[in-house]
Structure 1
């Protein structure tokens, strides 16, 4: 069950991030935040999604938006993924699944005939005051970043 609801303040969180940092929601106050959850570093869909955010980064910055990617991968894995793809934004490691549970993005998936829990590709837009303004669940990568950018422009 999600602890976040559109129109309500998102509880503060703090997670380890690339660049040898810890990032919390309160650190980002005054900025819009695009928080995107993705299943796994270096997989085709996750790479394409990250590249789309990377390629549109200037547009997001011009609208006072910060982008953060989140998966359960380790910081070491994130650092390699970020470097390989030249991502200009940080990746958060949610190995304890704290943020995944808060945003209710862990779903049962079928992998090679086995049922496993994995991250359902999802994106959340949080405004400058920490209020969740929009959410996208079961995201399809094609066209998604453009849709998020339009939402960022509208708030």
Structure 2
């Protein structure tokens, strides 16, 4: 079952960088941003991560956790996170279970080739585990500012 706005997100557990197990139910009381991206160390994905890094303190100030999600291995994630100095964890979803839960694992086309992959998307989950906002087919420029504004509005609400 995929997620829907104003519905509780089914609990999940996933492996992340820094040896963490991320479990949605453990994050109750905090807002959560999950941003799904296609691949570590590619230009768009690096820019998006750096934008979240630049706004990290602002997200922290409103009790909001950030997690990047792709199908890359934990080893690749650790290298990417270290090189870019990301202050948040990256979730490895090699079996694309989390990607499917959020409906972002889809047929893509690139240079005439079709393949299954992650469609860049971001989700904002409230402190009670309810999905409040989603951005699909994200364009990186200006995206993190939109997510931050939505998180701030939700926090104040």
Residue by residue, what CA displacement relative to the aligned partner does 1:21-73 show, whole Å, maximum 9, x if unpaired? 11110111110000000000000000000000001000000011000000000
Query: Which segments of structure 1 move beyond 6 Å, counting only runs of 4 or more?
Result: none
Give the CA RMSD over aligned residues: 0.8
Equivalences, count: 154
Shift of 1:109: 1.4
- Give distance in 2, aligned partners of 1:108 and 1:91: 23
SS in 1 for 2:18: coil
Q: How does 1:17-96 map to 2 (within 5 A)?
A: 17-96=16-95
Report the counterpart of residue 7 of structure 1 in structure 2.
Answer: 6
In structure 1, runs of 5+ residues without a counterpart are none
* Corresponding residue for residue 110 of structure 2: 111
In the other structure, the counterpart of 2:126 is 127
Q: Which structure features the higher share of helix residues? A: 2
Distance in 2 between residues matched to 1:3 and 1:117, nearest whole Å: 17
TM-score by length of 2: 0.96
Mean alpha-carbon deviation: is it higher for 112-121 or for 126-135? Answer: 112-121
Q: Any stretches of 5+ residues in structure 2 without a counterpart? A: none
Q: Is 1:102 paired with 2:94?
A: no
